[in-house]
Amino acid sequence: MRPNHHNHSRRADRVRLILELRKAYRRFADLLQQYRSDSPPMRAAFVQATHRLSAMNRALALVALESARRSPFAGHR
């Protein structure tokens, strides 16, 4: 596999992750708007959405760190 193709693939993966995270945030905001009760189903949905967003944020942070580490500009100001 050529390096350019590999970099393009990683960039595409990062973009997909960012888009998925944005969708998850929108779903979370919709969830908060739709359910204003303190019912067990609401709490369960809220916890599930919170865990998903947290996991996606961690994944995005790891991808960003890896990308910065591999950047030819890393360490240069």
Q: What is the C-alpha to C-alpha distance for residues 25 and 20, in angstroms, rounded to an integer?
A: 9
The residue extents of the domains of the chain are 3-65
Instruction: Write the single-letter amino acid at 53.
Output: L
Which of the two residues, 40 and 74, has the higher pLDDT score? 40
Contact predicate 25/56, CB 8 Å = no
Q: What's the pLDDT band for 1 if we cut at 50, 70, 90?
A: very low
Which of the two residues, 76 and 18, has the higher pLDDT score? 18
Angle at 59 between CA 53 and CA 60, to 5 degrees: 90
**pLDDT beyond 80 at 2:** no
Question: What confidence score (pLDDT) does residue 21 get?
Answer: 86
pLDDT digits (tens, 9 = 90+) for 16-60: 888 888 888 888 888 877 777 778 888 888 888 889 888 888 888
